[in-house]
Structure 1
Amino acid sequence: MRTVASARLLLRPWRADDADFLLDLESRWEVVRFLGARPRTMNNREDALASIARRCAIDDPIHGIWAITTAADGRLVGNLLLKPIPLSAGEPTGGPAEVEIGWHLHPDAWGHGYATEAAAAVLDDAFSRGLPRVIAVTSPDNHASQAVCRRLGMTHLGRTTRYYDTTNELFAKLTS
């Protein structure tokens, strides 16, 4: 998987030696509380290693799940994904799969603009590779991620139950 750079950040593939950071990140309820329909915290290093293996298994020229690091010192600050989004049970299939962008950062990295900067870099990269549209879904209560979506120039399309078997706010952005 490729790396993606911005002014302050380097998004790179996850590595096994990132397991302690991932465990710290995803063992925090305040970080995972809005992830998926049934959020849960990570409980052990083995779960972190298994999660890293799944993240690294994506072999696609556009999609990926990246570790977000600071460019200056390589400090891990979070996770960013760009991948096909799963439909809710019973949703009609057909046509091209929607691609979602999502992020979650360590609380120590909140408030520095890293989510917006990392997502903007990945969106620019994906659009330059021919991806025509990207969506984001957020919990209706996740106002911080909704603000990131707006800073990215994404359009709010309203509420939907089409993804993840739960109600989400839906945002979309077309290639510029």
Structure 2
Amino acid sequence: MGIRLTTDRLVVRDWTPDDAEAALAVYGSTDVARWLTPVMDRVADPEAMAAVLREWARQQAELLPPRGRWAVERVEDGRVVGGLGIRPLPPYEEDLEITWQLAPAAWGHGYATEAGLALLRWVFTQDIEEVFAVARPKNDRAHAVAKRLGMRWVGETTKYYDLNLQVYRIRPADLP
């Protein structure tokens, strides 16, 4: 897809094979992975992370915008601190979900909100009317990011991923 979104502090860009070590700090972290399962298990080592990135790149080439997965890189040092995604929510794959994951060392700096807003602004240029986020009830960080993104809580459901989840929604007019 080749999007590149830039904010004051961050770049949202496609993943590359060179990102495996930095991506492992995100997707290999038990503090991150515990919120991702059953969708994605913790990645065990650099080789497995490189394989995941290769698969994401392969999938990315087949996805219609705005679907995809992207790295979040700091402008100041070029360090990848997290990832973002836009994907269809199961089981019907009609609703689009925004996802964000940051390495624990990058928590608390506003990166998820900053990168998420940049991605949502681009998503809404792609003839999309609404985007959802889902989070487990005790994932306080995810709830806080969803609210900072301008998302509104719409309820609780077991519809997605066979889990009890809190659902947030944003439409273009809701963007801060």
**Same topology, TM > 0.5:** yes
Taking the aligned partners of 1:166 and 1:61, their CA distance within structure 2 comes to: 27
For structure 1, which segment, 17-26 or 146-155, has the greater mean C-alpha deviation from structure 2 after superposition? 17-26
**Any idea what SS the aligned residue of 2:60 has?**
coil
1:165 to 162, 166, 172: 162
**Any idea what SS the aligned residue of 1:104 has?**
strand
**Any idea what SS the aligned residue of 1:119 has?**
helix
**Any idea what SS the aligned residue of 1:146 has?**
helix
| CA displacement 1:56-99 (0-9 Å, x = unmatched) | 22233312201000122211100110111222xxxxx4xx7110
Q: Is the 8 A contact 1:37 1:166 kept in 2?
A: no
Q: What residue in structure 2 maps to residue 90 of structure 1?
A: none
Q: What residue in structure 1 maps to residue 86 of structure 2?
A: 82
Matched length: 169
Give, in angstroms, the shift of residue 38 of structure 1: 6.8
Q: What residue in structure 1 maps to residue 110 of structure 2?
A: 113
Q: Is the 8 A contact 1:6 1:121 kept in 2?
A: yes
> Segments of 4+ in structure 1 off by > 6 A?
none
| TM-score normalised by structure 2 residue count | 0.89
Taking the aligned partners of 1:102 and 1:142, their CA distance within structure 2 comes to: 13
**Any idea what SS the aligned residue of 2:124 has?**
helix
Taking the aligned partners of 2:161 and 2:149, their CA distance within structure 1 comes to: 22
Taking the aligned partners of 2:132 and 2:50, their CA distance within structure 1 comes to: 28
Amino acid at match of 2:79: R
Q: Is the 8 A contact 1:103 1:115 kept in 2?
A: yes
| TM-score normalised by structure 1 residue count | 0.89
Taking the aligned partners of 1:7 and 1:131, their CA distance within structure 2 comes to: 25
Q: What residue in structure 2 maps to residue 16 of structure 1?
A: 17
Residue segments in structure 1 that go unaligned for 5+ positions in a row: 88-92
Per the alignment, do residues 17 and 121 of structure 1 end up closer, same or farther by CA in structure 2, a change over 3 Å counting?
same
Amino acid at match of 1:58: Q
Taking the aligned partners of 2:65 and 2:42, their CA distance within structure 1 comes to: 30
Amino acid at match of 1:173: I
Aligned-CA RMSD value = 1.5
Identity among equivalent pairs (%) = 36
Q: Is the 8 A contact 1:115 1:148 kept in 2?
A: yes
Give, in angstroms, the shift of residue 5 of structure 1: 1.5
Q: Is the 8 A contact 1:36 1:164 kept in 2?
A: no
Q: What residue in structure 1 maps to residue 137 of structure 2?
A: 140
Q: Is the 8 A contact 2:23 2:80 kept in 1?
A: no
| CA displacement 1:117-165 (0-9 Å, x = unmatched) | 0110000001022111100000111011101111111110111111112
Residue segments in structure 2 that go unaligned for 5+ positions in a row: none
Q: What residue in structure 1 maps to residue 66 of structure 2?
A: 62
Amino acid at match of 2:60: I
Amino acid at match of 1:54: E
